[in-house]
Amino acid sequence: MKAKIRKIVTFVEETHTEMGKAVAPPTRRAAAAAVIENPFAGRYVDDLTELMDMGEELGELLAKRAVAALGIAGPSAESYGKAAAVGENAELEHAAAILHPKLGAPVRKVLGKGAALIPSSKKRGGPGVALDIPLGHKDAAFVRSHFDGMEIRVNDAPRANEILVAVAVTDSGRPLPRVGGLTKDQIKGEDGLR
């Protein structure tokens, strides 16, 4: 592992009721987050390859952790998302290097498929900063019932020279979806959109 990991945190949320109405089966989503050292903290470095390679390793590790936390097989996952928060001594571009070039492929491998873009967010912040991870259906981005988000935070991260990297996976959409749009049983799942 190239990334120097200080901490790994997993979160599992199950929603059993919403406005007093039962959600059966409960909707479930999981996020796995790693706190790593930022090798480029405090200075401008042109070549960000090292962070891109870390993204690849973390994609596999965090996707496996999230799926394991849900207790499902990878292909049973329905939606996903990713996000990173860099500490105060970093550039936003460091988060981009972790997330965008190489993190997605191993996530898709763990989930069996993943034709859709992995929705993402990034920010710079101090320890305890909230990360809102956007969620979308893994094979068809337009599935409206699966547009969602999951907030996570780790109270002591990211420190100034750290990066918090997270992958979220669900086995379901929102608790009581009823705003229409494309449904998951209508998708082709080929172009990543519908």
Partner 1 sequence: MFEVRVRKRVVIVEEVYHEGGPAAAVPQRRAAALAVIHNPFAGRFVPEIAGFMEDLNPLGLEMAKSLVTALGGDPKAVEGYGKGAIVGQAGELEHGALWHVPGGYAMREVLGGAKAIVPSTKKVGGPGTRLDVPITHINASYVRSHFDAMELGIADAPRADEILLALVMTTGPRVHARVGGLKASEIKGEDGLR
For residue 47, the minimal CB distance to partner 1 (Å) is 27
List residues bridging with 165 in a β-sheet. 34, 84
Smallest separation, CB 121 to partner 1 (Å): 14
Encoded amino acid at 74, one letter: G
CA angle, 140 then 144 then 148, to 5°: 95
Contact 58, 27 (CB under 8 A): no
Is 123 near partner 1 (CB under 8 A)? no
Q: Under DSSP, is residue 149 helix (H, G, I), strand (E, B) or coil?
A: strand
Q: Give the nearest distance from C-beta 26 to partner 1 in angstroms.
A: 8
Pairing outcome for strands 5-18 and 21-37: antiparallel
Q: How far apart are CA 20 and CA 127, in angstroms?
A: 35
Site residues for partner 1, 10-39, by CB under 8 A, read: 10-18, 26
- Is 151 one of the binding residues for partner 1 (CB under 8 A)? yes
Which run of H or E residues covers position 67? helix 49-70
Interface mask (CB under 8 A) for partner 1, residues 125-144, using x and -?
Answer: ---x-x--------------
**In the complex, least distance from residue 150 CB atom to partner 1, rounded to whole angstroms:** 9
Residue number, 46 or 155, with CB nearest to partner 1: 155
Positions in the binding site for partner 1 (CB under 8 A): 5-18, 26, 69, 128, 130, 151, 153-155
